[in-house]
Amino acid sequence: MNVRVILKSLGVLCFALFFSGCMTAPKPYEQTAFALDTVIDITAYGPNAEEAVQKSLNEMTRLESLLSNYQENSEITAINKQAGGPAVSISLETEQVLQQALRYATVTNGAFDPTIGPIVELWGIGKKDDFVPSDAEISAALKHVNYHRLELDTTKHTARLLDKGMSIDVGGVAKGYILDHMEAILKAEGIQSALLNGGGDIRVIGNKPDGTPWRIGLQNPRDTEGISAKISLDKWNDIETSGDYQRFFDRDGVRYHHIFDPKTGKPTHTLSSASTVLREGMEDFPSNALLVLGKEQSLELLKQFPGIEAIFVDLDGNVSYTPGLAGSIETDR
């Protein structure tokens, strides 16, 4: 799952930057929920904001019931239970998410792999204290990680894991997919100003009520109260961030976190965080794949995706970003 992004509260941000316009700002409707093992925060403005937000949350609940591998009766869980057995009938939504996941796996040459489930379960980051599996255990789990062994039939609308012991974890794409649907509902309900934060995946609608762009602060990976960069979303409406600082433990000077390299079965040690920044209408891109690839390989890969910008924080806290963000980003160093 992607990492938390610090969102400076509207009141604080207004006081710091837009004080003159904040005194008459309309009151937001705010709601917090929990889905896909992360916190979802929504802030929306408008006369029917409460109703619109509730409809979007209902859609979130519906999609989570299909896509979460944490829910016993989800379609993803059903596929995992049938690993090595018959194909499972799936909904259009699950099919779309799996298509997207397989496409990412292909273009990243496996740096993103939706069949990473056995490795995630083995390490159990956040669930097994400071457990570090042996190389033999990791090797055994890696035998069941291979996105080529996930069979998707878009004619029969079925999915199948070809080997027993395989399992899917689509958290890296499902959350963004769900937020896109929630955003679409808010727009359909007439909401023209809103912000959605899903554990590091951000969607904004329009500008803030005073007409200024939304500004987002990206958390400093080594300081829970600090910010590595501030971005003005004057040209973009979508940010996705992954990093090594939300679910982790340190042992013998090594940080073990929840984002794994599918080829090694171990946590990445290339960057502290990586973010993708996109315009409305562009297809999401998994920021956790950039964490696996590292900065140089990520920049090379992103040449295939014009319009996708990226922000990197290295292990020493240094911030760098793609040229398209110049003028819209401030960094601490």
User: For the chain, which residues make up each domain, given as ranges?
Assistant: 10-51+191-331, 70-169
pLDDT score of 9? 32
Among 238, 239, 215, 214, which Cα is nearest to 227's? 215
Q: How far is CA 328 from the centre of its chain?
A: 22
Residue 127: partners with Cβ closer than 8 Å, 6 or more residues away: none
pLDDT score of 8? 37
Rounded Cα gap, residues 285 and 309, in angstroms: 10
Among 141, 150, 64, 45, which Cα is nearest to 106's? 150
pLDDT score of 322? 97
pLDDT score of 7? 41
Task: Give me the amino acid identity at 234.
Answer: D
The listed CATH number (1.10.240.10, 3.40.50.720, 3.20.20.70, 3.10.520.10) that belongs to domain 10-51+191-331: 3.10.520.10
Instruction: Please provide the size of the chain in residues.
Output: 333
The listed CATH number (3.40.50.300, 3.40.50.2000, 1.20.1600.10, 1.10.3980.10) that belongs to domain 70-169: 1.10.3980.10
pLDDT score of 50? 97
Rounded Cα gap, residues 263 and 267, in angstroms: 11
The domains spanning 10-51+191-331 and 70-169 adopt the same CATH topology = no
CA distances from 172 to 115, 169, 178, 231, 329 (A): 11, 8, 11, 22, 25
pLDDT score of 35? 83
Q: What is the pTM of this model?
A: 0.90
Among 148, 176, 178, which Cα is nearest to 162's? 148
pLDDT score of 224? 87
Rounded Cα gap, residues 12 and 9, in angstroms: 5
Residue 10, token pair as written in the block: 């509207």
pLDDT score of 10? 29
pLDDT score of 136? 98
Question: Which positions of the chain have pLDDT values less than 50?
Answer: 1-23
